[in-house]
Amino acid sequence: MSSSYGARPALGTRPLLHALAQNWWVFLLRGLTAIVLGILTFVWPAVTFASLVLLFGVYALIDGVLAIISAITGNSAMPRWWLAVVGIAGIATGLVTFARPDVAAAALLLVIAVWAFTSGAMEIIGAIQLRKEIDNEWLLILSGLVAIVFGVLLLLRPAVASLALILTIGVFAIAYGVLLIAFSIRLKGHKHAQA
């Protein structure tokens, strides 16, 4: 006789997982965008600080829009507020960067640190909500922790040289992107399992 202790609920009884699995591609695109940003930071290390500000603005804006799309396309059973917060933070960061690049350049460390910390915290909260519906939610928790650690390090080291900042952003973006892609693949597997 097998025990049902610790067993996951049936797929049909997991509305949050179902909603996320329908939009697995959003996490994939967010991860790919992060990896592209990371690779560009290593390919062009001599990029000026102003260009870095604009590249980050593009990334934050795209990531924010994709997070909002994910929040909007979820069903009513999905607690979408955490994706909305991540999306709003990303869009606001991108718009501020384009509207006032001089101010954004001066405050880049603080802007990136706050954005990374907020995104990481929201992903951890989302993963905690998923823990009863999906195995390996630790991938989303780990991507959130990577973002939080990155944000804290930027706050503690405000005098980081521009090259060090570029390399740090590259490492963060690639690690973050890989974790989001792994999570999207996991979600895609759930989408196929329910078909």
Q: Is 3 within a domain?
A: no
Distance CA 142, CA 132 (A): 17
Q: Give me the number of domains the chain comprises.
A: 1
Q: Is 120 within a domain?
A: yes
Q: Is 7 within a domain?
A: no
Residue 176 has pLDDT above 50, yes or no: yes
Tokens linked to 115:
């954005």
What pLDDT, in 10s, does the model give residues 145-166?
988 988 887 777 665 555 667 7
Distance CA 186, CA 99 (A): 38
Over residues 163-170, the mean pLDDT reads: 76
Distance CA 178, CA 195 (A): 26
Q: Is 8 within a domain?
A: no
Q: Is 20 within a domain?
A: yes
Q: Is 81 within a domain?
A: yes
Q: Is 158 within a domain?
A: yes
Q: Is 137 within a domain?
A: yes
Structural domain of residue 106, as residue ranges? Answer: 14-194
Tokens linked to 127:
């993963």
Distance CA 140, CA 128 (A): 9
Residue 193: what pLDDT? Answer: 59
Residue 29: what pLDDT? Answer: 93
Q: How confident is the model at residue 78 (pLDDT cuts 50, 70, 90)?
A: very low
Residue 89 phi, psi (nearest 5): -60, -40
